[in-house]
Chain A
Amino acid sequence: MGFLSKLLFKNKTQSIVSGNSDSVLIKGDELKRSVDEVFGRSLFVRLVDSGSCNACENELAALSNPYYDLERFGIKFVASPKHADVIMVTGCITRNMLNPLLKTYENIPAPKFVITAGDCPETGGPFKDSYSVCGPVSKYLTVAMNIKGCPPEPEAIISGFLKFMDMLKTS
């Protein structure tokens, strides 16, 4: 049980993870303030993978690891579209995923925003010329923001959220 007790007695995230970059914390604090201001405490995000290579999902999942711990900045990935403020889209939009994507979008109560993560939803990425791909997302939905990258690194996604909040504040 040494393993568990060693972890238990380190009570701060920062002390479990070594070499956490300050930039995440600085951006995160700013993000938290903006989310508080604009959304009143928290921003809920529903993810739809519309046909990715799965690296983008791995990076989104990494946002919950102790190095980033996105929820402490007031952003949460939620299970139901009914709870969401934002739909985040990854992947190139396959013909098979178009309908599930649009249905998920419909089920998000207004006001709602579309954010894309990765190059695929914005341009179709390497798959754009395929018979079974019908993206980009902007053909079907109004996109508030694209977070670029292949895949975007976790810190870039945090910066993306920050930029999105700034956009809302100024608009």
Chain B
Amino acid sequence: MDKILINKHIIESNDFVNSADNLKGSGKYLLGIAAADERSLNSKFGIRYFFGGNNSIDEYSVKVDESFQSISRVCPAAKMYEREIYDLFGLTPDGHPDLRPLMLYPENWNSSLHPLRKDYNNSIPEMKRYGEYKFKKVLGEGIFEVLVGPVHAGIIEPGHFRFSLAGEPVLQLEIRHFWKHRGIEKVCEGKDFKEALDLVAKISGDNNVNITISYLEAVESILNLEVTERAKYIRVILAELERIWNYVRDVAWIFMDIGFALPAQSLFALQEELMRLNKSLTGHRFLFNVLTVGGVNFNLDSSKLKAIDNMINKVEKNIKECEAFIVNSSTVLDRLEFTGKINKKTADELSLCGISARASGLPRDSRIEYPYLIYDKFNLKPVLLESGDVFARTALRIKEIYVSKKIIGDLLFNLPKGDIAVAYENRPEAYKYAAGNSETPRGNAFFYVMADNDGTIFRLKYIDPSFRIWPSIQYGVLGNIIADFPLINKSLNLSYSGNDM
């Protein structure tokens, strides 16, 4: 299978607004925007817009100086990317409706410093307040605010949620994220492709296998490296195992949040068994460090294959019982149906991906749209539901566990012989770049990697599915009671660390 093909287009003028509008009309959606400081190459900054849809990816690139035209008004999904570019590169998106800082907090960062510029001299500003962050305010009689986080009441990652309410229903939710901004993209610069693997895996630890696959798609494409069939099979088995344990955990949390501890705990126990299986297969419960440039780091022998087979059969049996329980229980349905509805139009406007898109009727699944590794072999069809509520997202996870089980089952006893990794000495061509993508349990993971002239990373841009999906919660909660927020949040179960990076 070839690496994903990207149709490249060069935008001559600075004005991409009309074209972006037309693209959206033709069934395309924004996959992401990546900026890079290429002044050492051509004295300009490069901005690349990636649009997916209709089974192909289009790249539109434009060279800019200190500002560029914002496309947020015609393409709301662009908003966050443009704010990010404004923060990290200091390029101004002209006409952007909201240029508040995103990851570089005015509470501790001097806004004249843009760490992703190549001439940023690593100066770390003194820890003091440089400005204020202004939240949106809903005004009117009887309106009050509820502030939650960043530190939450439980074992959860940090994020700040600000609700405006009149009585019980939510009038507005504003999310402030990036508390966990670790500057991973910058740390990757100057590292060679293998060294960066450790950082890539730790963008979002619970999805590390799928995210790393996307990264490897990009760098192996830069290196013209073809991994063996056996390595591809093993990568897919691991990717689907990760999907299964993620989904089992996600469904367990739904039960937990509606006060049904018994099925929740039985699913948590199942998750634990899946993680112990991971450990027995590879030595690590999260499968850290099992993938490498050119292949995988461990082999599957017949006893391991048997163990996987037993486990996926057990998962299927337990999940079937759990599914029957959900659809037959009016108290469960009562909490899940019509809660946290994200309608199809909103999902499309925000360029959602993964479960969140498929639960709202959008057939977006990177394994099918832009097949990688050996996913074209399975003849997968997107699993779709229309209602866009907590129920749809829960039911979809259950249905997709069966799909993953089937994929693994098909591969287990047909593993091709051969090496698990190929040695390589290829050095990347200077400034060659490539994109990679994969479908994580949360949706499309997209990498854009450019090599430097010494073979290290010049620029690495990663777009986490959570980055695309977080804003949609602000729509999903509208009109719902605040007590349902945790449930709605869990039904999307997004990554804070992947979003904040």
Within A112-155, the residues touching B (CB, 8 Å) are: 125-127, 129-134, 150-151, 153
Are B202 and A17 within 8 A (Cβ)?
no
> What residues of chain B lie closer than 8 Å to A56, measured between beta carbons?
205
> What residues of chain A lie closer than 8 Å to B150, measured between beta carbons?
97, 100
Are B182 and A66 within 8 A (Cβ)?
no
A1 within 8 Å of B by Cβ? yes
B149: nearest chain-A partner, CB-CB: A100
CB distance from B182 to the nearest CB of A (A): 4
State the CA gap A95–B106 with chains docked (Å). Answer: 11
Are A100 and B179 within 8 A (Cβ)?
yes
B160: nearest chain-A partner, CB-CB: A100
Are B180 and A131 within 8 A (Cβ)?
no
Are B272 and A126 within 8 A (Cβ)?
no
> What residues of chain A lie closer than 8 Å to B183, measured between beta carbons?
127, 130-133
Interface size classification for chain B:
35 or more
State the CA gap A131–B204 with chains docked (Å). Answer: 19
A52: nearest chain-B partner, CB-CB: B497
State the CA gap A3–B269 with chains docked (Å). Answer: 14
CB distance from A50 to the nearest CB of B (A): 8
CB distance from B337 to the nearest CB of A (A): 19
State the CA gap A77–B155 with chains docked (Å). Answer: 8
Instruction: Name the one of A16, A55, A77, A134 contacting B205, with C-beta atoms under 8 angstroms.
Output: A55
Contact with A along B177-198 (1 / 0, CB 8 A): 0111111101100000000001
> What residues of chain A lie closer than 8 Å to B178, measured between beta carbons?
96
Are B202 and A96 within 8 A (Cβ)?
no
> What residues of chain B lie closer than 8 Å to A92, measured between beta carbons?
182
Are B321 and A3 within 8 A (Cβ)?
yes
State the CA gap A7–B265 with chains docked (Å). Answer: 10
Instruction: Name the one of B203, B262, B273, B496 contacting A4, with C-beta atoms under 8 angstroms.
Output: B262
State the CA gap A86–B449 with chains docked (Å). Answer: 42
A85 within 8 Å of B by Cβ? no
B263 within 8 Å of A by Cβ? yes
B122 within 8 Å of A by Cβ? yes
CB distance from A72 to the nearest CB of B (A): 13
CB distance from B180 to the nearest CB of A (A): 4
Contact with A along B253-275 (1 / 0, CB 8 A): 00000000011011011011101
Are A65 and B265 within 8 A (Cβ)?
yes
Instruction: Name the one of B127, B182, B249 contacting A127, with C-beta atoms under 8 angstroms.
Output: B182
Q: Which of B115, B155, B184, B265 has the most CB of A within 10 A?
A: B155
* Given known contacts A94-B181, A97-B179, A129-B187, A53 and B205 CB-to-CB distance under 8 angstroms: yes
* Given known contacts A49-B158, A104-B151, A133-B182, A66 and B127 CB-to-CB distance under 8 angstroms: no
* Given known contacts A55-B205, A126-B199, A133-B183, A48 and B151 CB-to-CB distance under 8 angstroms: yes
Are B203 and A95 within 8 A (Cβ)?
no
CB distance from B110 to the nearest CB of A (A): 11
* Given known contacts A53-B202, A54-B204, A96 and B180 CB-to-CB distance under 8 angstroms: yes
B286 within 8 Å of A by Cβ? yes
A77: nearest chain-B partner, CB-CB: B155
Interface residue stretch chosen among B46-54, B292-300, B322-330 = B322-330
CB distance from A70 to the nearest CB of B (A): 11
Within B195-242, the residues touching A (CB, 8 Å) are: 198-199, 201-206, 208
CB distance from B185 to the nearest CB of A (A): 10
B247 within 8 Å of A by Cβ? no
Within B91-128, the residues touching A (CB, 8 Å) are: 103-105, 107-109, 115, 120, 122, 124, 127
B444 within 8 Å of A by Cβ? no
Contact with A along B121-158 (1 / 0, CB 8 A): 01010010000000000000000000000110111111
B288 within 8 Å of A by Cβ? yes
Are B180 and A97 within 8 A (Cβ)?
yes
State the CA gap A62–B285 with chains docked (Å). Answer: 12
Q: Which of A3, A53, A129, A153 has the most CB of B within 10 A?
A: A53
Are A96 and B105 within 8 A (Cβ)?
yes
CB distance from B212 to the nearest CB of A (A): 12
CB distance from B272 to the nearest CB of A (A): 5
CB distance from A129 to the nearest CB of B (A): 6
A40 within 8 Å of B by Cβ? no
A47: nearest chain-B partner, CB-CB: B155
B180: nearest chain-A partner, CB-CB: A51
Are A130 and B262 within 8 A (Cβ)?
no
Instruction: Name the one of B182, B203, B204, B285 contacting A94, with C-beta atoms under 8 angstroms.
Output: B182
> What residues of chain A lie closer than 8 Å to B324, measured between beta carbons?
2-3
CB distance from A26 to the nearest CB of B (A): 19
A64 within 8 Å of B by Cβ? yes
> What residues of chain B lie closer than 8 Å to A133, measured between beta carbons?
182-183
B339 within 8 Å of A by Cβ? no
Instruction: Name the one of B157, B202, B206, B325 contacting A3, with C-beta atoms under 8 angstroms.
Output: B325
State the CA gap A42–B74 with chains docked (Å). Answer: 56
Are A7 and B262 within 8 A (Cβ)?
yes
> What residues of chain A lie closer than 8 Å to B124, measured between beta carbons?
131
- Given A54-B496, A97-B150, list of 17 further CB < 8 A pairs? A50-B158, A53-B201, A53-B497, A54-B204, A54-B495, A55-B206, A57-B155, A62-B275, A67-B272, A95-B105, A95-B109, A96-B108, A127-B187, A129-B187, A130-B187, A133-B183, A151-B205
A-B contact pairs, 21 of them (CB 8 A): A6-B321, A7-B263, A47-B154, A48-B158, A49-B156, A49-B157, A54-B498, A55-B206, A58-B206, A61-B155, A62-B268, A77-B154, A79-B154, A91-B180, A96-B179, A97-B150, A104-B151, A127-B187, A130-B186, A132-B183, A151-B286
The 9 A-B pairs at the shortest CB distance, nearest first, are namely: A55-B205, A79-B153, A3-B321, A53-B202, A130-B183, A65-B268, A53-B205, A132-B183, A127-B182
